[in-house]
A and B are shown apart, each in its own frame.
Chain A
Amino acid sequence: MIDQAHERVRAIYGSEIGCKRNELITPALILDLKVLRRNLDVMAELMKTMPAKLRAHIKVHKSPDIARMQIEAGAIGVGTATIWEAIVMARAGIKDVFVINEVVGQEKIRTAALLAGEVPLKVAVDDITNAEALSEAARQAGSQIGCLIEVDTGMIRCGVTSPEQALRLAHRISELPGLRLEGLTGYEGHCSREPDKAKREPMARKAMEYFVSVADLIIRNGLPCPILSAAGTATWEITASNPRITEIQPGSYATMDGYHARMEPRFKQAISVLATIISRRSELIVTDVGKKTVGADEAVFKDYDYPILRYDEEHGIHNIDDSCRLSVGDKTELFCGYTPFAVNYFDAYYVVEGDTVVDIWPIVPRGPQHGGLLNALKDR
C-alpha cells in the first residue's frame, strides 16, 4: 500500500525532482527536511528529561515517511484520528498504533478488530455499547483490542464526563472478551486554544490533576491503568513533566504552522506552500493559493509582511505597498495558518533539502474518505 502510494505520486510529480523549490508548478506543498529533522531532534532532546514518552500524532501530516522518522527519533508509536489512518500506519511498519478517537460503525469496528490481529492496536472508548460491539468484533476476529477510556478533561468533545462513569466503563471493558483495558486518554484540547502561556499552563495542570484522579479511582478499584495519554503541541511540556502521565500525543511539533508557532517557538515551520502571483495592481497582489488549497485558516508570506485582504476559493489576496517587488509570474512561499487543514488538500509533498526537491512523498489517506476500509486492509 505504501509503496504503491509512493509510485503513484512519483509518477505524477516525480518529473520535478531535482527542481529548485521556487520553480515548482504551483500550488505546491513543500516539506523542508532540514527543518523537520531539526524539530524532531529538538523534541527528542527535550523529552530525554521527561518522565513521559512521546507518541506522535500523525493526523497533522498523514505521511508514513514522516511517521517513520518520528519513530526513529524516539517516539514509542503513533496516534491517529481515524481507523483509516491507523491502517496506513500499520502498513508503514509502525508497531504501536493508537486511534485516539472513538471507532463507531459496523465496518470500522470490524476493521479495527482485524487490524488488531496484525498490530497491537489501541482505540479510545467512551461508551459501554461501543465497547461491547468492539468486544464482539474482536472475538469474531480472534484478536484483542487495546482500549483507553477517553476522559473529557475540559475540552467538551468526546469522553466520559465523570470519574464514576469512567470506572463503570473500566469494569465493563475489563470483563469483556477481546478487549484489553490499557488506561486513559484525555487530550486537554481546551488549553490549546489559550494563546497566553501563563494562563495555559495552570489550565493544563488542572486538567491533568483531574485526569490523574480518574486513574486513581480505577486503580483503587483493582483495575489496571498502565497508560495515561494526553497533550498536544501547545501543552506537551507541562503535561510531559507530570510524573503520572506516561505518554504525550502531540503532532504539530514536527511540521508546525502559524497557529502553533505563536505558542511554541522552539519548533520551526517545515511545511510551506509555493504560490504564483497571478495578478497585481498598486495596492494588492493575488496568488493562486486560496481556501481550496490551504483551508479557511489562510496563509501568510514566508518572506514578506503583506497582510491578508481576503482568501477566496482559489485566490489569496494580500495588501501591498509600493516597495513590493513581486510581479505577475513570480513565485513565493506561504506559511499555513493551520497545517492539518492545508495538508488535507494535497496528494503529495515536494520534499526539499535546502533549495532542491529530492523526493515526492504521498499523503495517505488524503481527505475524509473512509469507504472501502476492509478492502484497504487487504491491500498490503
Chain B
Amino acid sequence: MTVGAAKRGIETPALLIDLDTMEDNIEKMAKYFSGVKSNLRAHTKTHKSPTIAQRQINAGSRGICCQKLGEAEVMTKYGIRDILITSEVVDPEKIQRLVRLAGSHDVKVVVDNLKVAKATSEAARREGVRQGVIVEIDVRKKRCGVMPGEPTVAFVKKVMEFEGLDFRGLMGYEGPFFDIPDFEKRKAAASEVLRSLKDTVDMVESEGIIVHDVSAGSTSTHGVAGEYPKVTEIQAGSYVFMDSTYKKLGGLDFECALTVLATVISRPIPERVVVNTGWKAITQEFGMPVVKDHDDAKIYHMSEEHGMISVDSASKIDVGDKLELIPSHCCTTVNLHDQYYGVRKDKVEVVWPVLARGKFQ
C-alpha cells in the first residue's frame, strides 16, 4: 500500500487510524492536563507504537506506561526514556533485562512481592544501577498488588531496605468502571476507591517516607483521579483511539479514531452481508463491533475470519464493498495487527508498524 493511495484501496482486513480524530483526542487530553496539577503518563498498551507514544509525549505526557517489559524494550529503542512498567516483572531472566534497561533509561517497575523485590535489588546491584520501583496497591480489583493501609506501609519499609532499589511511589488502578456510564456516579465510585489510595499515601508519608509518584487512573476516570488529592499521574491509554465501549461512557469528550476496514465477501440473502473480518482481526470480548456510517447494519455474530451483519433488505451494500468497523475494545484489537494505516481525508498518509505487538515476553 503506497502512501497517498485512497483508503478504499487498502487490502482488508486492515487497521485504520483517522489521524485528525486521533490528533484531536491527544490535544483534548493535553488540554485537560494543562489545567490540573497531576500529569498524564500515557499508557501505550493501547497502541504499542513508539510513534504515537512520542506524539503523546510531545503533547505533554510526562512519560509512558508499558504493560510488559518487552514493550518497554521496544519503546526505549525509539528514544523514549521515562517508562513505568505496570505489571510485575518476576523472572530472573526478565529482571536482568529490566536492570540493564535501567542503566540508560528511567524505567520503573511495579512490585508487590518481597522475594521479587530482593531479586530485583540483587540484579540492580550486580548491574551497578538503582532500579526505580513503584509499589502496586490493590485498591479495587482482585488482581495484583499489596493490600492498602498497613500492609502497604510495612511492605514499603522493607522495600526501602533493599540496596539498589529506588522507591519512587505507589500505584493503584481504580478504573475503568465500564458498568457506570453516568459520569457523576462513576466519579463517586472512583473517588471511594481513590480514598484508600490517598489514605495509604498519607500513612506512608507519616512514616517520613517521600512518595514522589502516585500513579492511578485510566481514560474513564482521568477526570476524577486527575484532580484527586495526592495523585500525581494518570495512566490513560484508550483515549487516543476510543472504541464503542468507551463511547458509551458519559463525561468523555473523545471520538473513535480506530476502525478495521473489512470487505463484504458474501450477501447470501438480502438481509445478511458477510465481511472477511472476524475475531482474528477485531475482538469481541466487550461486545460486537459497530459498523460505521451504516445505521441499519448490525454485526450479530463473528467467527474467526467472518463477521455476519444484518442489514435492511433494501441496503445497497454489495459484495466487494468495504465497510469500517469500530471495535468494542481498541487495545485488544490493535494487538491482533502488525500495522496501522494512518488516514486523513480518505487518503493513506502514513503506515506505522505496531512495533510492540507480540512483545509480551
Contact = CB atoms under 8 A, between A and B. Distances in A.
Q: Which of A276, A315, A371 has the most CB of B within 10 A?
A: A371
Q: Which of A81, A280, A288 has the most CB of B within 10 A?
A: A288
A312 B143 contact: yes
A243 interface: no
A107 B305 contact: no
B274 A158 contact: yes
A317 to B, nearest CB: 6
Contact of B320 (A81, A105, A279): A105
A91 B88 CA distance: 41
Interface in B331-355: 331-332, 335-339
Contacts of B267: 127
Contacts of B94: 25
Contacts of B266: 102, 104, 126-127, 157-159
Interface in B272-308: 272, 274, 276-277, 279-281, 283-285, 301, 303-306, 308
Interface stretch (A170-178, A211-219, A234-242, A341-349): A341-349
Contact of B143 (A276, A315, A340, A367): A315
Given A158-B274, A314-B45, A367 B305 contact: no
A227 interface: no
Contact of A101 (B12, B280, B305, B336): B305
Looking at chain A's contact residues, the main secondary structure is loop
A328 interface: yes
Contacts of A309: 142
Contacts, number: 178
B144 A278 contact: yes
A286 B138 CA distance: 13
A305 interface: no
Interface stretch (B109-117, B199-207, B248-256): B109-117
Nearest to A158: B266
A59 B360 contact: no
Given A105-B320, A286-B144, A314-B68, A161 B269 contact: yes
A368 B144 contact: no
Nearest to B319: A127
A189 interface: yes
Contacts of B154: none
B90 A276 contact: yes
A310 interface: yes
B182 interface: no
Contacts of B1: 371-372
A108 B11 contact: yes
Contact of B13 (A104, A158, A327, A368): A368
Nearest to A157: B306
Contact of B336 (A81, A103, A159, A367): A367
A373 B1 CA distance: 10
Interface in A261-301: 276-280, 284, 286, 288, 291-293, 295-296
Contacts of B276: 82, 101-102, 104-105
A26 interface: yes
A152 interface: yes
B268 A161 contact: yes
Nearest to B338: A369
Given A296-B284, A313-B45, A368-B281, A291 B360 contact: no
A27 interface: yes
A356 interface: no
A59 B305 CA distance: 10
Interface in B213-260: none
A365 to B, nearest CB: 9
B129 interface: no
Contacts of B272: 156
A160 interface: yes
Nearest to B357: A367
Contacts of B308: 156-157
A130 B143 contact: no
Contacts of B265: 101-104, 130, 158
A329 interface: yes
Contacts of A295: 279
Contact of B285 (A59, A291, A327, A368): A291
Given A292-B332, A315-B143, A369-B339, A104 B320 contact: yes
A208 interface: no
A129 interface: yes
B319 A104 contact: yes
B263 interface: yes
A152 B266 CA distance: 12
Contacts of B305: 59, 81-82, 101, 368
Contact of B90 (A130, A157, A329): A329
A317 B263 contact: no
Interface of B: 1, 10-14, 45, 67-68, 87-91, 93-94, 112-113, 115-116, 142-145, 263-269, 272, 274, 276-277, 279-281, 283-285, 301, 303-306, 308, 319-320, 331-332, 335-339, 357-358, 360-361
Those 6 A-B pairs whose CB atoms lie nearest each other, nearest first: A368-B281, A279-B144, A296-B285, A158-B266, A102-B265, A104-B265
9 contacts: A26-B361, A101-B276, A105-B320, A107-B11, A310-B143, A327-B115, A328-B90, A341-B280, A345-B335
